[in-house]
Structure 1
Amino acid sequence: MKPLCLVEPVPVSGALRVNPTALDVLQSLSCPLHVLAIFGPCGTGKSFLMDRLAGDGEGFPRSPGIWLWCLPHPTQPDHTLVLLDTEGFQEQEADETKLSQLFVLNVLLSSVFVYNTRGEDNPQRQLDRLTYVRALPQMVRVLDECSWENSFLLSGVLPDFVWCLRDVAPDPCLDEMLEAAGHELDSALSSPQDSEDSPSSCIQRLFPHRKLFRFCSPQAAGGRGKPLSPAEQLHPTFLEQLGRFKDYALSRRPKAVVGNRAASGEVLAGFLECVVDLLSRDEPILLSEICGALQPEGSDCSPRHPPDPAGGAPPSQDAPSAAQPPLPEPQVGAGPGARDEPVCLVENHPGRELQLNPSALALLQSIRQPVVVVAIAGLYRTGKSFLMNQLAGQARRGFSLGATIQSHTKGIWIWCLPHPCQAGHTLVLLDTEGLGDVEKGNAKNDAWIFVLAVLLSSTLVYNSLGTIDQYALEKLHYVTELTERIRVKAAGEGGQKKGEDSAEFVRFFPAFVWAVRDFSLQLIVDGREITEDEYLENALKRRQGQPEKLDLPKKFLRQYFPSRKCFVFDRPALACDLSRLEELPEAALSPKFLEQARLFCSYIHRHAGPKTLPGGHVVTGTLLGSLAVTYVDAIRSGAVPCMENAVLALAQIENSAAVGEALAAYEELLGQRAALPTESVPELLELHALCEQEALRVFMARVFKDDEQRYQWQLKDKLDLKRSELCGRNELASSDRCRAVLMELAEDLEERLQQGSYSVPGGYQRLLDDQQAVVERYQLVPGKGVMAAEELQQFLKSKETMAQTILQTDKSLSDRQREIEVERAQAEAAQREARLLQETQARAEQQRQDQERSHEDHVQQLMAKMEEERRQLVAEQTGAFALKQQEQERLQREGFHSEVQQLKQQLQSLREEMNRPRPWPSICVVC
């Protein structure tokens, strides 16, 4: 096919519209798409460069809008190359809005975005012309609710940024310098004068994968400026530069829209229509909503390939064979974060600090269910990933296995699955980089990866080979460094918090499971068969005379982990088959290993609890993502992660969200139940109370550590405002209804007044009779609402002047009769005003009583919440006390009398803390 106009500006309004013909072409493409878009100033050779990608000759017409050209991908069969050529912008462009929209479309539609400029001017000045990049985070958001900067999330979904600097004189020295720098674009543009809002800074913040290509003139110097015919020879240097650019552009991964899955033409077309519609209405583009709308029913948001942290092409993988077992079917309400493949959550690159992968973080943020987080740690090449795949029910796919002596997993990888045993929960598996790799590029990150596994998990599996002996315990030295790398409470005025003991750590730390792999011994001690748990506890016995350094892993394991469990595993297969475990059918695996793995998986699935915070608050995927951000940011800044600070920061985020969720629940229920106007104020207030109780229930289920009730009173203020708004809406609906009824009933009366039918002798009495008939019929009409009396009063007052005129001209009445009628009318009007005042005061009193009822409801809910938190705190302290007592008894038996005395002091402190009365906070502020 030849190029077609895909998006064009409407001639009069300048708004963008999609060409239906081009859209049909795009929708017909069912294979993965590689979308390369180009954007830049006029006269820089954009169309010429795109034509060279498509082949020789001219194709793109150099016309307004965005033009589409679909071609078979030259290097990847069954893929399509989609080229987007956009009109160039002038040096002084009048329609900045249209160009901003075209820029946003190019960025969101492409997998590779090319910014094309001429290199004759100052390169920095050419980049500064790309001012549209500054508005990108304001125009496009990834999530509606996010606890970190939108730019950070955007950086995980934006395409590769390629700067093509055209017509640059060849400079071998500069080329060599840029190549050696590794990141050519940053090396060429880094400037200490750049502000945070400069295009250069925005590009570096928003586009993690950047590349610079420099091109000389495509023809000899004497021919520059003239059109280049297909027959003319291109400059050899230009051809070489063009070849490098094509190789890079064609090797990038396909375009992804829904989750991280390669997008088909139908999905990309739907995405385009949604974005253009939002741009035309000047509304922000919320990617999570668009992707949710485009998600096919019953499918997930899984990537076909794990994201490549280094920015390279995805590894080639064969399609799963028919013999491979399918993933378990997602349970109802499994949440949007379920994936059929793991993704990298924490990246660990040689020579760099740990950093979070934005796309994996966004995945975690989308999970609103409680999460059961199982992390595995241990030495490299000990089979951690294989064991985690068993836990996921996927023996032959999932976490990637290595087949050599080198460490395979880097950083921390995450896999989110519907929990097989706990409905409404998500199972989150964390596979960590192997510890102790001699070839590791950044060995200091070993301890931090272990720390993150402890902080993020609800169950920590430590994986080792052989037996639990002194050598194995020495390799677990990371547990002895936890107190140096984790702070439970915030630092005091004098620096770091002192005096923290194991009781405080126990409240935060996960359950501990030791998986002993390739275990070939018999579980027999002194001629008696023992259990695996007894084997672990026996190995952790401390013995007098042992050097303190060797004794520390036992000491800290016993002190810091609230529960311990042990599983031993036979070798999974013959030695010659261990390098290809992913390929082996289940029949080729050791039956004993399979039975041991089944018991291990069954225990984890049934006994591993959801991740919780002190106080018993259950962690969702959203909160777990926020925790990961807090901890990794602290590690990157050189600080010691503080669990108390992390929980407090998390509470602020969660409690703000709880207020929003509660108000949304109020509005949802009100929309289902409200039928305005109501007949009475009590009926309306009963509806409000019902919706308020639902909002309060939703809020209390999510809020935690709102010690000063700041967020609860914030919610109450907003709900009080909702009550006022609801009463106002009810009164307005009632007024509208009453006026419509009166207008219809008084239609004949108005017509007679206009015709002068009452301006005759006896007309005044006829007018009174007709008005009374209207009033009586009005009183019989149902559904008028709370403003019925007031609107009737307004109607009758509007007729008073006309009635007095008719009264004065009615010749059938004497002067005395007229005086009597005037007095009667005034008395009736006064009576109606008095009744109306009484009704208004009654409504005000009913609303005041409802406010008292609301206050009492909030206080009762608060007291119940605080009582629940008290019980949870007592349970945690009781559990810590029991563990301390057990440890004291063990130390007493083992003869560590000095440590027994220390434990006695800690137990006394715990006992005092448990018995200390806790006053109820003041709650009269809402009275």
Structure 2
Amino acid sequence: MEPVCLVEPVPSSGALRVNPAALGLLRGLTRPLHVLAVFGPRGTGKSFLMDRLAGQGEGFPCSPGIWVWCLPHPTQPDQALVLLDTEGFPEQEGDKTKLSQLFLLNVLLSSVLVYNTRSEGDPQRQLDRLTYVRDLPQMVQVLDECSWENSFLLSSVLPSFVWCLRDVAPDPCLDEVLEATGHELDSALSSPQDLEDSPSSCVQRLFPCRKLFRFCSPRVDGGHGEPPSPADQLHPTFQEQMGCFKDYVLSRNPKTMVGNRVVDGAFLADFLERVVDLLSRDKPVLLSEICNDLQQEGDDYSVGYPMDPTGGAPPRRAAASDAQPSVPEPKRERVVPLQAFRPAPPVLAQAAPGTAQPGAMEEPMCLIENWPGGELQLNQRALGLLQSFRQPVVVVAIAGLYRTGKSYLLNRLAGKDRGGFSLGATVQSHTKGIWMWCLPHPRRAGHTLVLLDTEGLGDVEKGDTKNDAWIFALAVLLSSTLVYNSLGTIDQCALEQLHYVTELTERIKVKAAGEGGQQEGEDSAEFVQFFPAFVWAVRDFTLQLKLDGREITEDEYLENALKRREGQPEKLDLPKKYLRQYFPSRKCFVFDRPAPRCDLPRLAELPETALSPEFLEQTQCFCSHVHQHTGTKTLPGGHVVTGTLLGTLAVTYVNAIRSGAVPCMESAVLALAQMENSAAVGEAVAVYEEQLARRAALPTESVQELLELHAQCEREALRAFMARAFKDEEQQYQWQLKDKLDSKRSELCHRNELASSDRCTAALMELSQELEERVCEGSYSVPGGYQRLLDDQQEMVEKYQLVPGKGIMAAEVLQQFLKSKETVAQAVLQTDQSLTDRQREIEEERTRAEAAEREAQLCQEMQTRTEQLLQDQERSHEEHVRQLTAKMEEDRRQLLAEQQRALALKLQEQERLLREGFRGEVAQLGRQMQNLRKEMSRPQRSRCVVC
């Protein structure tokens, strides 16, 4: 196809309108979309740049609005390439509203946004012309009524930002500065005079994935006028720069919406229509609401499915006519793209037939990449794979100093003697970032074991303790058991090396600001709700487990090492204090050296016979404990975390770190609850439809039978919702579900009436066919014909009454049929010469009386039907209240159990502090326990919106 106008301004009003023909082209694209949009000042060669991306000499016209060009992706056959070229903005201030709206559409529609400018004077001035970026937080929101800052949420869903600086003259000094910084665009953005709302600051805050490309003049003669014609020869340097730019932008991930879901052309077209309509009415754009509404409409979208981890196109949703509609996925923030090359697809093992496990990874892959400079980024393919696991997850993370054998220990947990996490054999740190391995849990059917191998802490080559602290914090936040791996003994040196635990309160917040946010001396019980169990693995342990002449267990060895001693400097005491406060569930394992030192570099290749028997026994005990006692990853309140939710948590925390914020656990859980509860509504509706398709045989013989069918399906839908929803404290989502199920009941009643009406009409048409033929033949236009007509009509009615399966509309359809035949009967009556005038009057009166009686009976049936519907509404209300009450009671029991465990742990810690002489901390702990007891005695909130 050639480029066509997608969005154009209306000349009379300046408002934007969408071209239906272009929407039709978009809707024909069924593959995932890779959308590149260009925006910038006039006369900077935007269209020329997009034409080069399309591989064409000329294509885009220089016309107002946004033009679209749909092409096959040149390197990814499973994707479609969509190029968007937007009119340039003028030197002087133009129609700011229109240009802001055009910029907003570029941002919302694209997976890569290219800002194109010429290098004229100070590059900072060119970026400061992008004033439209400041309007984004006011014009678009991600979630409605979310406690998180909207700008932060926007940064998680906006596209990659690529700045193309054109016609740059060679400048060796500038090159040296940019190369020394390691990040060209951030260097160009940095300015000590930047205000918080300057375009430079807004770009830094809203677009965490940024890239700068500098281009020389494309003309061989070095001119800076019009772009060269197709016949002109391009400058070799420009061609090289263009190749790098093209490789980068085409390797970005497909277009995704809220929820990290790839979309096809149909979804993007409907999304565009909805956004333009909101802009025309000066209403803010609420992304989560738009995406959720479009998913709920049941059109044939790809959206709602996670990216296929193998790189293929996502599966298609069922059509609206299918018996079982698709379940919309939880809404999640989009993950920023990672790198300039396309990552290799993960290797999946085939699942055994009939197993619940959809597949497992044959080898680990990097989940969170740690780029030079300490920048953490999520690997899209690993994330998509993790989110494809719908089972509960048991997450074991290992952390510790580099070159201490962490990866080997995880391989043993995975039950792999060969392969698995890569082992390094030199003094250099081998694992970078956080690597993931998803496997069927060896002891819990229907659970996935997620092993996380973290980058070694304290790498002298990296020298970035802040980056190490973030890696450690992520391991704590994502795991249900954290294994800390160290060498030698647990002495003061080992504890000082674990200083990352003392920084957790600086790296993690429990509550968002303004909601009782974190204060100094915050109750450690609030952290304990989120933190994992703690296992200390001491490697190459050579001491005897004896204390004061008696043998002790490994756990006693750990607790003795954590015993605090009065008079010790507070700084030295902090690791012990925080380990005891934040990790009350602790376990210790010691390991002999697995093999002679000379064999350690090839440890992964050694057969078990070459390993120390003591080490093998210790490893077996360690693996058995972790497999048996590591709990399913849960959120406060006991909500079970699946692979899908774990991936969303990873997105939330990494995006917070990338934006410079401190991850807030409560905000993450609340945002996750919004997404999960919305998905729970969709899943419950799908369960209702599935149950209905399995049970329904329309039409039913009575309204009561139909309502019982609805009640059975509604109960199953409610169970599905209650099983998945959590923290729906205002019952907002249950109210949504109730509205949807009420609509489903109305729709079911209507369908039942139509099915009954169709069947009754068909039966009457068949039974009355002979009667109609006699009327047409004039068989009743003879003396005595009227009585004969009545007899034949009565015979037909009697046969109709015997037809099975007519449903609830039998009487009403019969009444309508007989009323339609009154004119024929009246004509036969008037022409029947065997009847006197008096007899005709009597017959007319009798006919009217019978019709009135049937009408009265029909009204009685309608009244009875209405009363049954009202009774079912009351039943539905009681069912919602019953299941809600049961869930609230279960949540209350779960909360009390958590609080009782926290109180018991505080009592134990209080006793230890008393024995150790820390009376000041005992008093503080006593106040915390008093507050906790008050919380436990507080009556359960009884407010129920549904009620």
Alignment partner of 2:415 out of 390, 393, 396: 393
CA contact (8 A) 1:734 1:785 kept: yes
Alignment partner of 1:421 out of 435, 443, 452: 443
Q: Residue type matched to 1:792 in 2?
A: L
Task: Please state whether the residue corresponding to 1:102 is helix, strand or coil.
Answer: strand
What displacement does 1:205 show? 5.1
1:648 maps onto 2:676 in alignment: no
The match for 2:281 is none
CA contact (8 A) 1:36 1:110 kept: no
What displacement does 1:867 show? 1.7
| Structure-1 separation of matches of 2:930 and 2:49 | 79
Q: Deviations over 1:624-671 (max 9, x none)?
A: 233334434444555544333332232222222211111111111112
The match for 1:89 is 60
| Structure-2 separation of matches of 1:315 and 1:794 | 68
What displacement does 1:694 show? 0.6
Distance 1:750 1:871, change over 3 A: same
| Structure-2 separation of matches of 1:576 and 1:529 | 32
What displacement does 1:44 show? 5.7
1:691 maps onto 2:660 in alignment: no
Question: Which range moved further: 636-645 or 277-286?
Answer: 277-286
Q: Deviations over 1:131-167 (max 9, x none)?
A: 89956855889xxx999999978889x9x989797xx
Q: Residue type matched to 1:879 in 2?
A: R
| Structure-2 separation of matches of 1:560 and 1:385 | 25
The match for 1:759 is 781
CA contact (8 A) 1:515 1:566 kept: yes
Alignment partner of 1:476 out of 483, 492, 498: 498
| Structure-2 separation of matches of 1:795 and 1:455 | 70
Q: Deviations over 1:6-37 (max 9, x none)?
A: 999xxxx9987999xxxxxxxxxxxxxxx999
The match for 2:288 is none
The match for 1:558 is 580
1:876 maps onto 2:898 in alignment: yes
Q: Deviations over 1:224-281 (max 9, x none)?
A: 989979xxxx89xx4465467668978999999999xxxxxxxxxxxx9x96899999
Write out aligned runs for 1:608-623 (5 A): 608-623=630-645
Question: Which range moved further: 737-746 or 486-495?
Answer: 486-495
What displacement does 1:217 show? 3.8
Distance 1:189 1:443, change over 3 A: closer
Distance 1:150 1:829, change over 3 A: farther
| Structure-2 separation of matches of 1:623 and 1:868 | 22
| Structure-2 separation of matches of 1:919 and 1:133 | 45
Write out aligned runs for 1:355-394 (5 A): 355-394=377-416
Alignment partner of 1:463 out of 467, 474, 485: 485
The match for 1:344 is 367
CA contact (8 A) 2:760 2:806 kept: yes
CA contact (8 A) 1:257 1:291 kept: no
Q: Residue type matched to 1:391 in 2?
A: L
The match for 2:592 is 570
What displacement does 1:312 show? 5.7
CA contact (8 A) 1:454 1:460 kept: yes
1:102 maps onto 2:130 in alignment: no
| Structure-2 separation of matches of 1:473 and 1:290 | 43
The match for 2:865 is 843
| Structure-1 separation of matches of 2:163 and 2:514 | 49
Q: How many residues align?
A: 827
The match for 1:334 is 357
Alignment partner of 1:711 out of 723, 728, 733: 733
Q: Residue type matched to 1:563 in 2?
A: S
Distance 1:113 1:586, change over 3 A: farther
Write out aligned runs for 1:146-185 (5 A): 171=170, 176=175, 180=179
1:886 maps onto 2:908 in alignment: yes
| Structure-1 separation of matches of 2:668 and 2:591 | 37
Structure 2 residue runs without a partner (length 5+): 5-20, 29-33, 40-44, 113-141, 257-261, 272-299, 315-334
1:507 maps onto 2:529 in alignment: yes
What displacement does 1:566 show? 0.8
The match for 1:860 is 882
Q: Deviations over 1:519-546 (max 9, x none)?
A: 1222222343322112111212223332
The match for 2:339 is 311
1:921 maps onto 2:942 in alignment: yes
Distance 1:900 1:244, change over 3 A: closer
The match for 1:522 is 544
Distance 1:186 1:546, change over 3 A: closer
Q: Residue type matched to 2:60 in 1?
A: F
CA contact (8 A) 1:677 1:730 kept: yes
| Structure-1 separation of matches of 2:189 and 2:938 | 63
What displacement does 1:704 show? 1.6
User: When the two structures are superposed, what TM-score results if normalisation uses the length of structure 1?
Assistant: 0.75
The match for 1:812 is 834
What displacement does 1:864 show? 1.5
Task: Please state whether the residue corresponding to 1:600 is helix, strand or coil.
Answer: helix
CA contact (8 A) 2:634 2:641 kept: yes
| Structure-2 separation of matches of 1:760 and 1:190 | 104
Q: Residue type matched to 2:70 in 1?
A: Q
What displacement does 1:820 show? 0.9
| Structure-1 separation of matches of 2:340 and 2:933 | 57
Q: Residue type matched to 2:724 in 1?
A: R
Distance 1:685 1:438, change over 3 A: same
| Structure-2 separation of matches of 1:437 and 1:695 | 52
| Structure-1 separation of matches of 2:651 and 2:697 | 45
The match for 1:661 is 683
Distance 1:731 1:312, change over 3 A: closer
CA contact (8 A) 2:69 2:83 kept: no
The match for 1:729 is 751
Task: Please state whether the residue corresponding to 1:430 is helix, strand or coil.
Answer: strand
CA contact (8 A) 2:3 2:60 kept: no
Q: Residue type matched to 2:366 in 1?
A: V
| Structure-1 separation of matches of 2:513 and 2:164 | 47
CA contact (8 A) 1:37 1:110 kept: no
Write out aligned runs for 1:445-460 (5 A): 445-460=467-482
Question: Which range moved further: 860-869 or 106-115?
Answer: 106-115
Q: Residue type matched to 1:311 in 2?
A: Q
Structure 1 residue runs without a partner (length 5+): 20-34, 51-65, 67-83, 260-271, 298-306
| Structure-2 separation of matches of 1:905 and 1:408 | 46
Q: Residue type matched to 1:720 in 2?
A: D
Write out aligned runs for 1:478-497 (5 A): 478-491=500-513, 496-497=518-519
The match for 2:855 is 833
| Structure-2 separation of matches of 1:484 and 1:206 | 22
Q: Residue type matched to 2:456 in 1?
A: G
Write out aligned runs for 1:673-692 (5 A): 673-692=695-714
What displacement does 1:623 show? 2.3
Distance 1:754 1:100, change over 3 A: farther
The match for 1:798 is 820
| Structure-2 separation of matches of 1:187 and 1:890 | 53
Distance 1:666 1:746, change over 3 A: same
CA contact (8 A) 1:350 1:441 kept: no
CA contact (8 A) 1:185 1:212 kept: no
- Overall identity of the aligned pairs, in %: 59
Distance 1:292 1:689, change over 3 A: farther
| Structure-2 separation of matches of 1:649 and 1:225 | 51
| Structure-2 separation of matches of 1:660 and 1:196 | 41
Q: Residue type matched to 2:856 in 1?
A: A
What displacement does 1:604 show? 1.3
